[in-house]
Amino acid sequence: MEKDSKPLSFALIGRSGCGKGTQAQLLMKHFGNLFYLSTGGLLRNLAKLDTSAGKRAKEILGNGELIPDFMIIGLWMRELCINLKDDQGILFDGALRRLVEAKQADGFFNFLGRKGNFFPILLDISREEAFDRLTKRRICKSCGRIIPYVGDFKNLEKCDNCGGELSNRQDDKPEAINNRLDYFDTQVIEVLEYYKKDNRLITVNGEQSIEDVFKDIIKAVEEKR
Ligand SMILES: [Zn+2]
């Protein structure tokens, strides 16, 4: 397999609140031609469809039940088969959270001759830090921007986007947050172990500033490629 001849792909993995969305944006900017793939987005689009599977997905999402593996994999696989261009890398945001998913992704990268150019990245924050960030983050009452509970944002008094008033209202109850964090500790951990086995996992301390997290990601990728 020719390294460097194929575009780089990434999967951002980490506990809820670890800053995946923010780092995804920075990676998009840095590498330019990345195909952004959000499993959550694909599922929400599916749930809007007036189809048998769409209706079922809507039901399951509403109950907070788990979407079956084959459906998650089928959705991103279809999306990539139809849309991914040869000169584009992939940025998985919120995907590869189950072992079977990670293995299927490897199969797909092999198929494309891209396995050596795929980098799973753990944005490592502790469970306590994740819980704090999820329960203390705020939302702008005017524009809906979510103000993360990190760094200087903690002291923000007005929305930095529109100047609107900030609300502490939480959509998620502590129980729901704990369920999500439990999922990471039981399911996602298996994915991390899988990538660690052949020394592919890039682990970055996610409790630093946004800039430092990003710097560490780029440094680790450059070292590995
Ligand atoms: Zn705002």
Mean pLDDT of the chain: 92
From the candidates 97, 98, 115, 133, give the one annotated as an active-site residue: 97
List domains and CATH numbers for the chain. Answer: 9-121+187-224 (3.40.50.300)
Q: What is the pLDDT of residue 171?
A: 66
| 3-class DSSP assignment, residue 45 | helix
At residue 80, the 3 state secondary structure works out as helix
Average pLDDT over residues 134-146: 91
Q: pTM above 0.95?
A: no
Catalytic residue at 225? no
The predicted structure's pLDDT at residue 151: 84
Q: Give tens-digit pLDDT for 212-224.
A: 999 999 999 999 8
d(CA 9, CA 135): 32
Active site residue 114: no
- The verdict on whether 197 is a catalytic residue reads no
Annotated catalytic residue 158: no
- Torsions phi, psi of 163, nearest 5? 80, 5
Tokens of 148: 């993360």
Q: Does the annotation mark 137 as catalytic? A: yes
Q: What is the pLDDT of residues 70-128, one digit of tens each?
A: 999 999 999 999 999 999 999 999 889 999 999 999 999 999 999 889 999 999 999 99
**pLDDT for residue 6 is more than 80:** yes
The residue annotated as part of the active site, out of 15, 115, 133, 137, is 137
Catalytic-role residue among 20, 114, 115, 138: 20
Q: How many angstroms does the Cα of residue 155 sit away from the middle of ligand 1?
A: 15
